[in-house]
Amino acid sequence: MTSNMTNAMASIRHPPTASGLNYNPCAPRNLWNRAMNLLVALFALMAVLPLVVVIGYVLYKGGGAITPAVFTELPPAPGLSEPMGMGNAIIGTAMVTGGAALVAVPVGVGGGIYLAEVARKGSFAQSIRFGVNVLAGVPSIICGLFIYALVVNTRVLWGESFSAMAGSLALAVLMLPTIVKTTDEGLKLVPQELRMGSLGIGASRFVTITRVVAPAAVSPIATGVVLAIARAAGETAPLIFTALFSPFWPDWSSGGGLLAPTATMSVQIYNFGIMPFEPQVQLAWAASFILVVMILAANLLARWLARFSAS
């Protein structure tokens, strides 16, 4: 045994000199390391490049198409080049996204509170967590089909089929899991002592949650909500069979515009972007510009909001 031991050790023992400490740039391991360093630097470059190229291109193409008329006029009829506007789509995006937020934020925050504060464990809570994860993975176009089958096709909304409200519902389905998750995670970050302190002085759970815990988690929740709304504003697939599209101003007489087919910027990009008419393509770029700027702004806002929770 002893001789075996010394043999095994001797075979990797180096002479106790320090000369071998120098960096050998041609050693295979060092060549390999340098090659890999270069490779991942290249990968990172390739990952960043599309964003820079896409944003640059959108800002360049879309920025050039932005005029005051874009905000105040309607789009031209195919083949014409006047008027050059998409005021209806801007209003439509605000209406549809706003409606979606009105539905999804209360439901999502309420559901998040339930998961984080009322029932952290237990099979019901687990099944809901599972549901949140499944819903987050449902393709966005399926949300559109779902609302189409449930709302548009059955005309349950006061006999109307395609409508801004249906579009809002489809987007709300899409936003819901994000909001539940961020609320759940935001509330979990609140230190347990805060809850103990409040419950310990005899406050009810309602008071503890609404007056103590939720205010402490408002920054991460707001961050999640802002990001969810920004994402929803750019969604197209759930809207093409629900809010549909319209070349006109919202029909205020039908449910304040909520019960009629409604143009949105994202659907406009899809519809106009593949048209053979230059004015329409221009408007698609203009809409892309507005959406991208809005989303960049929302992300910066979210980072700014997140800073509050850090301090």
Q: Give the footprint of another protein on residues 38-97 (CB under 8 A).
A: 39-41, 43-44, 46-48, 50-52, 54-55, 57-58, 61
Closest CA to 151 of 239, 236, 230: 239
CB 256 within 8 A of CB 238: no
Binding to another protein, residues 211-240 (CB under 8 A): 227, 230-231, 233-237, 240
Can you give the length of the chain in residues?
A: 311
Residue among 77, 97, 115 nearest 266 (CA)? 97
- Our CB check for another protein shows the closer of 176 and 258 to be 176
Q: How far apart are CA 49 and CA 54, in angstroms?
A: 8
102 binds another protein (CB under 8 A): no
Q: What angle do CA 133, 178, 257 make, to 5 degrees?
A: 125
Q: Of residues 183-212, which lie at the interface with another protein (CB under 8 A)?
A: 204-207, 209-210
- Whose tokens are 């101003």? That residue is 249
Q: Which CB atom, from 236 or from 309, has the smaller least distance to another protein?
A: 236
DSSP 177-241: HHHHHHHHHHHHTS-HHHHHHHHHTT--HHHIIIIIIHHHTHHHHHHHHHHHHHHHHH--TTTTT
Q: Which of residues 247-306 bind another protein (CB under 8 A)?
A: 266, 269-270, 273-274, 284-285, 288, 291-292, 295-296, 298-299, 303
Q: Measured from the CB of residue 140, what is the shortest distance to another protein in angstroms?
A: 6
Nearest distance from residue 188's CB to another protein, in Å?
15
Binding mask 135-174 for another protein (x = CB under 8 A): xxxxxxxxx-xx-xxx--xx-x----------------x-
